[in-house]
Every structure is written in structure tokens, then in C-alpha cells.
């Protein structure tokens, strides 16, 4: 792990770059807004920590009422528990003896859960839990339309849930019914239609299980793009939104019911870059490229100077074209970039620099950086 690029008390111009910046005022408003929404809807929030990979952020979410966090990998869960997070769901399949043994060991230190969509995998998880003398909470994952993991709704889910409920060391907690590919459908009605389908499949499955005496205490799913539909459904009771804490440039391209870009949550995560060359004259070159930003959802948006554009990323460079803005960039100037996709951008950094009113207030480690196993 590298030394942090800044220390508390420093001003913005003293931060080394490229640095992953959190604007604390915006970030705290995002946390409070989501907490208020889930409270008003009468559902629980189990925030997704794959977005931030940071125990300090997870504990703030829990301080505002989240019942715990999700993550995608056992190593991520380990890093979060090491950082003091008491309740983690691996909202994903955990396959292989070594991973299952680590999951079971972790369940001896915190409240731990995972998803299953295969009876053989459930049997192995049961064996790992029994060997470690622990209990692992299990959600049976149902494919509610996303076409990734999950058994088919209805009878196949019932069959698997019965196996889980009967397996020593496993606690059947309910259903995982996340519709991932609906989150970035741009149109409001498109997202609504996709989630209507997910709700129908989740409802049918939960009712079937209950009719057979299996209590679905948890029906989980939802992300930042769709959570209002799930929370109003009367079926889902645990939301897994993640990106709302930071809001990347890609999420800001989703449209609301009036056809305008969604503005429920504020951009709170930035990569702060420095102009390192103006030799060309036509454009400025900044010090943040492919190793400081993720490009899977397009280039970063330029927050400051407003109106400028980022292009031509290479390993350690990017071009800022300031022609569309009034700003004339000079060597050493700072450029604020809004990542196209926050989750994989965070995974490129060791530290967050949390700032308020132009001063560094805290630095937080990205505890689960590189925790992809």
C-alpha cells in the first residue's frame, strides 16, 4: 500500500495527484437522502460496499440505519470485517473449497451471508460451515430477468430453498432477486417495466415458498437506478443500493419520469488531476489516465474547469481540451474529474482523501482494493 497523497489539515493545492477525492458535504447529503428514503418506505438498506470497498464508509452507512453491507467477494468481506463491519452479505455465489472455508471462518467473526443458485454448491457451503462450527445465512438467488446468476423463479427456487433450509450450518434467510441489467436502462419507463417483471417473479417465488412453509424473511435486491420501484413493490424489503454514495457520470445519464437526467444524488467522488504539460499549446495534458480512472462506462466528465472535455487516455496521461470552457489551463492547475464508473475507479486507488470547504478532513484506506478473489 502506498503512502496517502495527503494528510488531514492540508489545503487542496497541497494534495498530491492523481488522488481519489470525496466531497464530504455532497457525500453526507447522499447518505442522508438514501437513509430518509428507505425509512419513509419502511424497508431496510443493506448498502452495497463493492462501490466503495471501505469500512469507514460502511460504518457511516450503518450509523444512519443500514442493517449491514453487501459485497461481491469473500476477500472483500474479510477486509470489511477486519475494518470493524459486523454484518456482511456476499451477494454473490461463492464457489470452491478454499473460498468456502474462508467464508465459514469469517462467519465465526461476524454475521455473514451468501447467495446460492446450485444445490451442490449449497451442500459444500453446508459442509464448510459444519467443519468450522458456524452458521452462514443464505439467500437463494433467483434470476428475475437480468440473465446472470440465479435459479428460475417458482418451483426450481422452492426446491433449492428446501435443500438450504435442511442443510446443517446454513440458515435460510430468503431470496436474492437483484435485476442488475435494469439499473442503467436510460428511460424511466424502461426501468419501471424491467422491475415490474422482477417484482412479479420475486412475488410469485416468495408466495410459493411461504405456501410450503418456508419463511422468506428477506427479499433482497435493487440498485441506485431502480430502488424506488422495488421499495414500493410490497415484495422487496431489503435494498442493496451502492452507487448512490458517489454517483458517477454514467448514472447521471439515466433519465427521470420527465425525461430529464436524474439528479437525486450528487456527484461526490472525483479524481483530482494536475496539468503536467501545456507544451502543445492546443490542449493540456493531465496526470490521470487508464491507471487512475476506469473507462468501461466512457471517459470522465470534467467538473472543473466547467465545460472542458477529457479525451485520449493512455496509461498515465489524458488530454484536456479547454476550448469549450473559458478556462486557460496552466502548468500545475488542478482538474476535477467525475469518473465514468465509480466502482472500478475506486479499485485503482489505495486512499480516499475526504475534503470539506477546500481542506482535507480525513484520509480513508480503500480497505478492499484488489480484493477480487
Interface contacts to ligand PLP, rule CB under 6 A: 48, 50-51, 70, 91, 178, 180, 183, 223-225, 240-243
Q: Which is nearer to ligand PLP, 117 or 333 (CB)?
A: 117
Kindly state the smallest distance separating residue 89's Cβ from ligand PLP, in Å: 9
The rounded distance, in Å, linking the Cα atoms of 203 and 198 is 8
Of 224 and 274, the one with the shorter C-beta distance to ligand PLP is 224
Minimum distance, C-beta of residue 233 to ligand PLP, in the bound complex (Å): 16
Nearer to ligand PLP, 65 or 180 (CB): 180
| Surface-to-core class of residue 77, CB atoms within 10 Å of its CB (0-12 exposed, 13-18 middle, 19+ buried) | buried
Contact 266, 30 (CB under 8 A): yes
Dihedral sign, Cα of residue 348, residue 310, residue 287, residue 351 = negative
Q: How far is the CB of 362 from ligand PLP (least distance, A)?
A: 23
CB of 251 to ligand PLP, least distance (A): 7
The residues with which 334 forms a beta bridge, in sequence order, are 274
Nearer to ligand PLP, 90 or 132 (CB): 90
CB of 243 to ligand PLP, least distance (A): 3
The three-point CA angle 133-137-141 to 5° equals 135
Shortest distance, CB of residue 282 to ligand PLP, whole angstroms? 37
Our CB check for ligand PLP shows the closer of 225 and 322 to be 225
| Least Cβ distance, residue 151 to ligand PLP (angstroms) | 15
> Does residue 357 come out as left (phi exceeding 0), alpha (psi in the -120 to 50 range) or beta?
left
Task: Name the strand (E) or helix (H) holding 271.
Answer: strand 269-277
Burial of 130 (0-12, 13-18, 19+ CB in 10 A): middle
Nearer to ligand PLP, 91 or 274 (CB): 91
| 170-176/218-221 β-pairing | parallel
**Nearest CB to ligand PLP, comparing residues 5 and 223:** 223
CB 182 within 8 A of CB 198: yes
Residues 6 or more apart whose Cβ sits within 8 Å of residue 230: 43, 195, 198, 199, 221, 222, 236, 239
- In this chain, which residue has its C-beta nearest to ligand PLP? 223
Amino acid at each position: 500500500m502506498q503512502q496517502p497523497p495527503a494528510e488531514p489539515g492540508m489545503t487542496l493545492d497541497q494534495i498530491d495527484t492523481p488522488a481519489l477525492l470525496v466531497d464530504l458535504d455532497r457525500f453526507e447529503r447522499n447518505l442522508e437522502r438514501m437513509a430518509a428514503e428507505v425509512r419513509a418506505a419502511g424497508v431496510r438498506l443493506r448498502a452495497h460496499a463493492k462501490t466503495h470497498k471501505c469500512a469507514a464508509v460502511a460504518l457511516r452507512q450503518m450509523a444512519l440505519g443500514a442493517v449491514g453491507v453487501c459485497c461481491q467477494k469473500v476477500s472483500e468481506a474479510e477486509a470489511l470485517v477486519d475494518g470493524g463491519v459486523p454484518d456482511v452479505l456476499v451477494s454473490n455465489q461463492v464457489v470452491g473449497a478454499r473460498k468456502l472455508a474462508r467464508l465459514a471462518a469469517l462467519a465465526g467473526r461476524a454475521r455473514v451471508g451468501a447467495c446460492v443458485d446450485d444445490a451442490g454448491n449449497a451442500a459444500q457451503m453446508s459442509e464448510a460451515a459444519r467443519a468450522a462450527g458456524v452458521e452462514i445465512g443464505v439467500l437463494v438467488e433467483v434470476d428475475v430477468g437480468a440473465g446472470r446468476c440465479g435459479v428460475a423463479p417458482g418451483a426450481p427456487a422452492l426446491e433449492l430453498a428446501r435443500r438450504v433450509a435442511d442443510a446443517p450450518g446454513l440458515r435460510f434467510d430468503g431470496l436474492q432477486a437483484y435485476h442488475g441489467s435494469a439499473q442503467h436502462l436510460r428511460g424511466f419507463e424502461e426501468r419501471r417495466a424491467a422491475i415490474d417483471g422482477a417484482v412479479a417473479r420475486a412475488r410469485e417465488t416468495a408466495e410459493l415458498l411461504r405456501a410450503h412453509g418456508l419463511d422468506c424473511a428477506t427479499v433482497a435486491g435493487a440498485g441506485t437506478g431502480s430502488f424506488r420501484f422495488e421499495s414500493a413493490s410490497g415484495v422487496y424489503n431489503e435494498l442493496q443500493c451502492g452507487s448512490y454514495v458517489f454517483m458517477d457520470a454514467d448514472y447521471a445519464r439515466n433519465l427521470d419520469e420527465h425525461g430529464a437526467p436524474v439528479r437525486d444524488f450528487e456527484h461526490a467522488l472525483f479524481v483530482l488531476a494536475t496539468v503536467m504539460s501545456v507544451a502543445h499549446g492546443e490542449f493540456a495534458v493531465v496526470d490521470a489516465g487508464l491507471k487512475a480512472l476506469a473507462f468501461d462506462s466512457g471517459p470522465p466528465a470534467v467538473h472543473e474547469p466547467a465545460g472542458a472535455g477529457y479525451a485520449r487516455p493512455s496509461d498515465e496521461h489524458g488530454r484536456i481540451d479547454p476550448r469549450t470552457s473559458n478556462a486557460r489551463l496552466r502548468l500545475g492547475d488542478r482538474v476535477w474529474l467525475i469518473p465514468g464508473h465509480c466502482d472500478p475507479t475506486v479499485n485503482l486507488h489505495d486512499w480516499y482523501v475526504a475534503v470539506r470547504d477546500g481542506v482535507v478532513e480525513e484520509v480513508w484506506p480503500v480497505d478492499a482494493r484488489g480484493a477480487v478473489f
